[in-house]
Structure 1
Amino acid sequence: MTPRGFTKPLYILPFDHRGSFQTKMFGWKGELSTEQTAEIAKAKQVIYDGFQKAIADGVEKEKSSILVDEQFGAAILRDAKAQGFHFAMAAEKSGQEEFDFQYGDDFAKHIEEFKPTFSKVLVRYNPGGDATLNREQAARLKRLSDYLQGAGQALFMFELLVPAEQEQLDHFLGDKTAYDLELRPELMVKALEELQAAGVEPDVWKIEGLDRREDCEKIVATARQGGRDNVSCIILGRGEDDAKVHEWLNTASGVDGFIGFAVGRTDFWDPLVNWRAGKNSRDEAVAEIARRYREFVDVFEAGKKA
């Protein structure tokens, strides 16, 4: 299959969190009731309203996007489509170490129903980990990749997480920061290469924050090797604080091939928690989410100009 790619600016507000949202934001376990599902959907609507306010306040619509799940965000997906927003839709089952489809063999029907701009997967893939698991994941991902290229229903967005294997972490005496700086970038390059060799062809790679410009450059070079000239990368926030996210945005924005970001929890988590605790109003939560999103856009665009 010929890689397609996406090269326009892309600033994503992701709130496709499901398992973590249910347990950490709401403190609920097990199967949800209809009322609980509606309560989570209501909270996600606050985030979506913040996104819309940011655009109303001046963030360019063509550069903006949301990422949300069908389970709690079906109404939002439909509205985003009606309003002509770029939007990405999660295809993976939430809260699993191993990638699998949220809706099993029916994954294509759900993509065709909503027709998102991007079909997104989150995948934990460490080249130094379980080789059998990696092959099995790659086979499922190739199935989605082939479908998206053949059907043309959506572009393919791939969120790559490379969690440390215990042996790798032990090498750094348990220091995750050292692992992130010294080994993870190398493993990410190798993961891209292995997935490409397995026939997995994303249009956009979502990449965990990188501290060094040269590591960002290596990731882009790998993503675009072999004629994949229009494949691009975006940086993700990993729920870090504002200062760290600003660092990552500044680093990535100066590298050709990094077209934007996906920053979610750093944007919406505190405003939502405060709203649910009665510390601020719904309007205040919406306004704060919009302000934070605009701030990340401004940081990335300033870095691009610099």
Structure 2
Amino acid sequence: MTEPHFDIICLGRVAVDLYGEQVATPVEEAVSFRRYIGGSSGNLAVGCARLGLRSALISRVGADAMGTYLHAALGREEVDTTYLNVDVSRRTGLAFLGLKDADAATLDFYRENCADIALSPDDIDEGFIASSAILAMTGTHASAAHSFAALEKAASAARTAGRLTILDIDYRSSIWTEAEGGPECVASRLRSLLPKIDYLVGNEEEFAALGQTSLSEALVMLRTLTQATFIVKRGASGATALHPDIPTNLDAATLVPGYAVEVMNVVGAGDAFLSGMISQLAAGAPIEQALTVGNACGALVVSRHGCSDAMPSTDEVDLLVGRPPREASPEWLKHLHWVTRRRNWPQPVAALAFDHREPFEMLLEQTGSPAKRVGEFKALLTQAAINVMEVSDHTSPGALIDGRFGAASLQKLTDLGWWVSRPVEATGSRPLRFEAGEALETNMRSWDSRQMVKCLVWYHPDDEEVMKADQIRSLRRLQHACRSTDHQLVLEVILPLNGPRNESDLIRALGQLYEAGIYPDWWKLEPPTSDQTWNGLSEMIKAQDPHCNGVFLLGLGQPLEDVLRSIRFASDQPLYAGFAIGRTIFKDAADLWFTGKMDDKEVIKVISERFSSLLPAKKVKVE
């Protein structure tokens, strides 16, 4: 038998979930929504991929914006979408969800003649099915004859290839009721599939629905149809595996206990449970361990907003079940979940930093120029950076740009796929304050999610406690806003220029911020001048947050040759993430341009040459 290419193929329902952002609010009262990959098979495919499995999805989406979104979002989760076919005659399914209370969400399905339910046997490639160690199917697709025929064909192909087959009953009352023939027909079709199934998964209500009788009678009857292992999910209590015997009372069976968590949203718990269980079955683990990990995954998801987006990583699960020594604090679990979801960028990043606002405001005042001139100058910087990167072999171009003066440049480089970050701090504020004031999170929610957040904080480890407490409160607020709006955080820490300054102080400053629960995705720091400082930074960062992306070097307006020397010295350091240099490159050119002593072409030429000098490639395209 050939070695499977995939660990798991998920076949069935995929849609877009739109979750109300207002907690304790029914869907009809929600005023804003967050979009996620949805549908039981879509959730399962993501959950398995997050746990390190080679995951694929077979289904259909519409030839619409939501279908395009699902393809892209699943791709980012490293789910294979080769057989996520586009149906040009149907729309992608939607589900609106409101988090009315901790025990139930209000759901409103938009699935009439939707794309995924149009799945047919023609969508099933038997060779593709055989390429996976496990086939997991969801029962909703028994609600239509053609999609059920696809389940039958896939199950037969998996059985012929000797692959493990799993059926999630996936009972949805409204979907089964509206199906042709009603719930009885759906249940009958699924029962006919059971001889080809190795694991049958559902909660107590789902097993009863499949048997169309009471739970106890359904379990006994279903056992006459299949020797599959029955996995009965029992909510917060845990889960039970039944094989081969069926007890007269389910409470008499061995229960693998669940985990006590604060529940936000019960939707998606079953999909998370199944992904955890499958991850262990794929590794050959005993069923008790599979249920333990499944329970952990379910517990983590119910404590979060959304389904697919809430799916945990292996690190999160390991922390919850207690295998590593570190305490599974809620804050650290949230951080682990964040770092496994964020986008990764090639490193090192070469970023031209022109997010400055105050220096340009001063130039406007000195020269009497209109504000639009700043945007025009930043457009020249943008063109220079593009020119350099077009002829450079550097793979990760970047920029720091503000939204006040540089909005057009900001969007242009974001759309080009550059690493782009924008500032939030009120210039020069100490203690830290934000340009958007109390509207910080609201303002960030309007940003493109591909953009990073940059924040400069003037912080010294020997500041007065009142000052440090104020700064840390602001940084905690910022971190919460970043996580809530899906923006990575670049935290720039500079020791105040009018006080004692040495590199050991900088290391202590970062240590205090970590101790306060601040975990930026990137640090932006003055260039360390010795191996000893780099080693100290590396040891401290790796101990506090081994998932940190690394350290960007800033310039502080130093001479170009000094900046280049710092970059060369840092380039061999493991935590070196790149540079973000600005005034060193453009300050004198800005002074000359605003006073009419340098034209546009000269600005682009000078900036191109200086920016290029910091990169390995030296050729420059000048316009």
Q: TM-score of the superposition, structure 2-length normalised?
A: 0.42
Q: Which moves more between the two structures, 106-115 or 139-148?
A: 106-115
Q: Give 2:380's aligned residue.
A: 46
CA distance in 2, matches of 1:139, 1:279: 45
Q: Give 1:298's aligned residue.
A: 616
Q: Give 2:513's aligned residue.
A: 195
Q: 2:415 aligns with which of 82, 90, 112?
A: 82
SS in structure 1 of the partner of residue 370 of structure 2: helix
Q: Give 1:129's aligned residue.
A: 463
Residue 242 of structure 1: CA displacement? 1.4
2:602 is the counterpart of 1:284? yes
CA distance in 1, matches of 2:429, 2:599: 34
Residue 246 of structure 1: CA displacement? 1.7
CA distance in 2, matches of 1:247, 1:135: 36
2:548 is the counterpart of 1:215? no
2:428 is the counterpart of 1:110? no
Distance 1:134 1:36, change over 3 A: farther
2:586 is the counterpart of 1:252? no
Q: 1:91 aligns with which of 424, 432, 439?
A: 424
| Greater per-residue strand proportion | 2
Q: Give 1:15's aligned residue.
A: 354
2:520 is the counterpart of 1:186? no
Residues 260-302 of structure 1, C-alpha deviation per residue, up to 9 Å, x if partnerless? 1111111111222233344432112112212211111229xxx
Query: Relative contact order (C-alpha < 8 Å, sep 6+): which is higher?
Result: 1
Residue 226 of structure 1: CA displacement? 3.0
| Greater per-residue helix proportion | 1
Which runs of 5 or more residues in structure 2 are unaligned? 1-333, 618-623
Which amino acid in structure 2 is aligned with residue 89 of structure 1? R
2:588 is the counterpart of 1:270? yes
CA distance in 2, matches of 1:164, 1:18: 19
Residue 59 of structure 1: CA displacement? 5.0
Q: Give 1:101's aligned residue.
A: 434
Residue 96 of structure 1: CA displacement? 1.9
Aligned partners of 1:138 and 1:198 also within 8 Å = yes
CA distance in 1, matches of 2:525, 2:372: 31
CA distance in 2, matches of 1:124, 1:238: 13
2:155 is the counterpart of 1:155? no
Distance 1:59 1:287, change over 3 A: farther
Aligned partners of 2:387 and 2:608 also within 8 Å = yes
Residue 146 of structure 1: CA displacement? 2.3
Aligned pairs, how many? 277
Which amino acid in structure 1 is aligned with residue 557 of structure 2? G
2:430 is the counterpart of 1:64? no
Residues 21-48 of structure 1, C-alpha deviation per residue, up to 9 Å, x if partnerless? 222x44449xxx9x72212222221211
Distance 1:59 1:39, change over 3 A: farther
Q: Give 1:303's aligned residue.
A: none
SS in structure 2 of the partner of residue 231 of structure 1: coil
SS in structure 1 of the partner of residue 405 of structure 2: helix
Q: Give 1:226's aligned residue.
A: 544
CA distance in 2, matches of 1:146, 1:216: 29
CA distance in 2, matches of 1:256, 1:112: 33
Residues 24-81 of structure 1, C-alpha deviation per residue, up to 9 Å, x if partnerless? x44449xxx9x72212222221211111111122253x41111011111112222222
Q: Give 2:555's aligned residue.
A: 237
Which amino acid in structure 2 is aligned with residue 107 of structure 1? L
Residue 88 of structure 1: CA displacement? 0.3
Q: Give 1:302's aligned residue.
A: none
Aligned partners of 2:520 and 2:548 also within 8 Å = no
SS in structure 2 of the partner of residue 71 of structure 1: coil
Aligned partners of 2:514 and 2:544 also within 8 Å = no
Aligned partners of 1:224 and 1:231 also within 8 Å = no
Aligned partners of 2:541 and 2:548 also within 8 Å = no
Aligned partners of 1:216 and 1:255 also within 8 Å = yes
SS in structure 2 of the partner of residue 260 of structure 1: strand
Which amino acid in structure 2 is aligned with residue 288 of structure 1? V
CA distance in 2, matches of 1:289, 1:224: 36
SS in structure 1 of the partner of residue 446 of structure 2: helix
Distance 1:276 1:226, change over 3 A: closer
Distance 1:129 1:289, change over 3 A: same
SS in structure 2 of the partner of residue 238 of structure 1: coil
SS in structure 2 of the partner of residue 228 of structure 1: coil
Q: Which moves more between the two structures, 1-10 or 188-197?
A: 1-10
Aligned partners of 2:364 and 2:370 also within 8 Å = no
Residues 216-259 of structure 1, C-alpha deviation per residue, up to 9 Å, x if partnerless? 22112222223423431011111000121122112211211112
CA distance in 2, matches of 1:250, 1:15: 22
Aligned partners of 1:209 and 1:248 also within 8 Å = yes
Aligned partners of 1:77 and 1:114 also within 8 Å = no
Residues 115-139 of structure 1, C-alpha deviation per residue, up to 9 Å, x if partnerless? 2431010000001122211111111
Distance 1:59 1:134, change over 3 A: farther
SS in structure 2 of the partner of residue 88 of structure 1: strand
Distance 1:28 1:272, change over 3 A: closer
CA distance in 2, matches of 1:250, 1:81: 27
Percent of matched pairs sharing the same residue: 22
CA distance in 2, matches of 1:163, 1:227: 25
CA distance in 2, matches of 1:205, 1:249: 15
SS in structure 2 of the partner of residue 84 of structure 1: coil
SS in structure 2 of the partner of residue 160 of structure 1: strand
Task: Select the structure of larger CA radius of gyration.
Answer: 2
